[in-house]
Structure 1
Amino acid sequence: MSNAMLNRICNDENDPMLQVKLRCKHGDLLSMQTSWEEHNPARRFWSCPRCREDACNFFRWRDREDADIRSNKVPLACYESRVESNQVVMKEKKKSKCSNLKVIVLTIIVCFLFLSLTKNVKDGSCRCVQPKLP
């Protein structure tokens, strides 16, 4: 689930702050975003999308910093679903890495066996059992 989708789910449509039009020094119209950091879960803010490019540094919390996060009426379920989603993605990545590693190791073993067999045949050191003829 994308940040934009979670922002829409978690934002209260009756919140008057959603109608506020904020602009940074570039004149860009800023949309409200939601923080998913551990120390500010589900807390709303505005920031300039070009803050890293042009050192704009525009950042403003939707609420006061001393306000209780629960008073913002942001459902904790949004934060929890984000955490669960991230855990599922991490598990899938780990499974994929393990599968890829197994394939690589198996390929190396097969190549090693093939090379050692062809070397023995070329050197004549292959000790094949000769059938005894009567």
Structure 2
Amino acid sequence: MNEAQLLIEYAKAWNNLDVSYLYDILDDDFEYNSQWVFSTMYGKWNYIDYLRRKFSSILQNVSSIPSAEIAYFKYCYTEIDKGCIVLTQKGNQCCIIIETKNGKITKANMIGIPSPEGAVKFDYKPR
């Protein structure tokens, strides 16, 4: 899979609150970072377990159901036209950018800088 296809599958996980979309697209040595947390999470299954708990918590409060939309940044750090997912939850937004290798996601970063408002959205929320 290429980066765009991987982003679509990742967005499906968020839009359906279902981690099974991630089983085949995350590298075993997957790393997750967030600009709001100061430590890196290592390992595909550690991340999937974390996200499963997060999704379960979200389902307890239907007013907090997120929306994941495919977008891109014209400029993101040193990259031009960098694909991303814009997550919107309760009016707040952040983005997920990924790194890939051999058709798998090796790293995902949840970011607020650059601002999600600067992302060009495709009005596509994969289901």
Q: Which structure has the higher relative contact order (CA within 8 Å, separation 6+)?
A: 2
Shared fold, TM over 0.5: no
TM-score using structure 2 length? 0.28
Which structure has the bigger radius of gyration? 1
